[in-house]
Amino acid sequence: MLRFCFVLIILFLLTSCDLKIFNADEAEVKVVAEKKNEILNLSSDPEKGKAVYNANCIPCHNYEPQKPGSIGPQIYGSSKELLSNKINLGKYPKNYKPKRSTKIMPLLPHLNQQLSNLHAFLNARSD
């Protein structure tokens, strides 16, 4: 009987250890995922921004953001605040005078994490 109890205790200890390891892994995965997001948010790579711009903005804005596009205005030099407002909310920062009075541009909130890259591209000096 004593031996049986001993085995039970060992088994119990082993399973609880396992659980702890599992939880630690899960927490670690979460931290790594959060860090990745942070890096995405903090990076400001104009080359990445250009790729995002070409894939999402040039149907309406010009390939060269300094020039007006087929539907949208020139957006070279846009501030982060303006980009964030336009992409996420379809609005403009307070006291900002919009270049066009239309409300055609769709919301593109999935691009929010590319905002720094877009901003870097739209504010890169072209020389």
The residues of the shown chain that bind ligand HEC, judged by CB under 6 A, are 56-57, 59-61, 71-73, 75, 78, 82-83, 86, 98-100, 102-106, 108, 111, 118
Task: Calculate ∠ Cα 67-72-78, nearest 5°.
Answer: 65
Question: Residue 55 CB, nearest distance to ligand HEC (Å)?
Answer: 8
Residue whose C-alpha is closest to residue 115's, from 63, 53, 62, 24 = 53
Q: How far is the CB of 33 from ligand HEC (least distance, A)?
A: 24
Q: Quick one: 82 or 120, whose CB is closer to ligand HEC?
A: 82
Which of 63, 62, 38 lies closest to 116, judged by CA?
A: 38
> Looking at beta carbons only, is 35 or 67 nearer to ligand HEC?
67
| Choice between 23 and 54, CB closer to ligand HEC | 54
Collapsing DSSP to helix, strand or coil, 120 comes out as helix
Query: Hey, CA dihedral for 107, 54, 67, 125, is it positive or negative?
Result: positive
Minimal distance, residue 52 CB to ligand HEC, in Å:
6
